[in-house]
Amino acid sequence: MTQLPEPAFTPLWPEAPYQRLLQACGVVDAAAWHGRWRQHPDALSIPPDPRWALVLPLLSRCQGEVAKGKRLLIGLNAPVGAGKSSLGAWLSALAPALGLRLSSLSIDDFYWPWQERTSRMAGNPFGVDRVPPGSHDADLLAHQLTSWRQDGVLRWPRFDKRLRQGHGDRNGWSRQEADVVLLEGWLIGCRAIGPAALAGRLERLGGAAALGLTSEEHAWLPHWDAALEPYAPAWAQLDGLWVLQPLDWSWPRRWRFQAEARQRRRSSGVDGGTEVGGAALAGADLERIVRASLCSLPPALYQDPLITDTGCPPSNGVGSGVEAVGLLDGRRRFRWIGTGDEAGIAADQLSSVSALSSIG
């Protein structure tokens, strides 16, 4: 039987920085490396899906470190709607082909139990009981990661968003032996700036209005900044941070609503915690959750510096081990993929709007 040729696939991202990322991940012969993956039955759909461009180098990076007898903790920072969960599922599915035991862990699973969480989130300007910094038990996260480092068994609480009429609560625990842990979430790696530095940076950016914040949201910024401090021990355990970042921060809101619409069509009942007993999360509730993720830690203050200030020491809240960056267009396609030390310049060149633009 004649084998059909592979569909034409032309990446949107430039080749040179991507090749440097492959080299940093231990890929010596890129052509042979791609060829091996194309022979794998689970990888037949890799071209033309662009996610392979990030998933496969990360798997190679993990394989090289695990072969040295190390356990590896990789952080994945990406906004709502960017495909963090899908990427984690791909990694988990393909890891066994490299002999890796990989666990994809969401920061969401470390939300405080219901009563504690609602108390900690009381009075916030978004009207949400989860998402902003402080809604997670960061001490428990750090403790469980430390325990995994010691015995190779990852244990974590399961957070079920279907409970409490869609507000969610803990529902038992999970346990998995793992060589590699992928910790994903929208605030992974973000660090407290401190009151003086926060005020100074905000002033340089043109103030709260330039970032699209209301006066009440502005008033809460010092609170959210201080709430990041307990996360630092968990971030300190990261062996590397990988970042997905949109070229325009107004896009994640659209992505999240598009994802919600797809889930409604697909399940018409229950999905990933956004629907309860057949009733979907109300649009106003979803709007508040998305806004909380974009305005409690405004990207220009916290996410953008992860890739633009990579030369700064971690004590300044930025530059904490960013290994790889993927810059996304409005359709969540990669427009650039490379190492963290090159990403800032690429982002400046590709961004369709100023870094000071409103989050929408």
Q: Which amino acid is at 84?
A: K
Nearest residue to 225 (alpha-carbon basis) of 290, 291, 301: 301
User: What is the distance between the alpha carbons of residues 288 and 295, in angstroms, rounded to a whole number?
Assistant: 10
Residues constituting the chain: 360
Which strands sit side by side in the sheet containing 180-185, from one edge to the other? 102-106, 180-185, 72-77, 240-246, 322-328, 334-339
Helix (H) or strand (E) holding 198: helix 195-204
In Å, what is the CA distance from 303 to each residue of 135, 191, 318, 329? Answer: 19, 10, 9, 16
User: Is residue 243 classed as helix, strand or coil in its secondary structure?
Assistant: strand
In order along its 360 residues, the chain shows pLDDT tens digits of 333 334 455 778 999 999 999 999 999 888 887 777 777 666 545 444 566 788 889 999 999 999 999 999 999 999 999 989 888 888 988 899 889 999 999 999 999 999 999 999 999 999 999 999 999 999 999 999 999 999 999 999 999 988 988 889 999 999 999 999 999 999 999 999 999 999 999 999 999 999 999 999 999 999 999 999 999 999 999 999 999 999 999 999 999 888 777 777 766 544 443 333 334 566 888 899 999 999 999 999 999 999 987 544 443 333 358 999 999 999 998 999 999 999 999 998 887 543 444 565
Cβ-count burial 221-231 (b if 16+ within 10 Å, e if not): beebbbbbebb
pLDDT score recorded for residue 355:
43
User: What is the distance between the alpha carbons of residues 60 and 57, in angstroms, rounded to a whole number?
Assistant: 5
Instruction: Say if domain 15-350 classifies as CATH 3.40.50.300.
Output: yes
Helices (H), 112-188: 114-120, 138-151
Nearest residue to 145 (alpha-carbon basis) of 237, 63, 208: 237
In Å, what is the CA distance from 145 to each residue of 118, 181, 241, 257? Answer: 25, 9, 15, 32
User: Is residue 313 classed as helix, strand or coil in its secondary structure?
Assistant: coil
The answer to whether 188 and 77 have CB atoms below 8 angstroms apart is yes
pLDDT score recorded for residue 271:
40
Q: Which two tokens stand for residue 28?
A: 């010596």
Helix (H) or strand (E) holding 44: none
Query: Please, how many CA atoms are within 13 Å of residue 356, restricted to the half-sphere of its CB?
Result: 10
The residue written with tokens 């899908």 in the block is: 86
Task: Taking each helix axis as running N to C, give the angle between helix 52-66 and helix 30-38, from 0 to 180 degrees, rounded to the nearest 10.
Answer: 100
Specify the DSSP class assigned to residue 324.
E
pLDDT score recorded for residue 311:
42
pLDDT score recorded for residue 279:
40
Specify the DSSP class assigned to residue 136.
B
Q: Which amino acid is at 29?
A: D
Write phi, then psi, for 136 (nearest 5 degrees).
-110, 150
pLDDT score recorded for residue 268:
58
The answer to whether 249 and 299 have CB atoms below 8 angstroms apart is yes
Nearest residue to 92 (alpha-carbon basis) of 80, 68, 76, 110: 76
CB atoms within 10 A of CB 101: 17
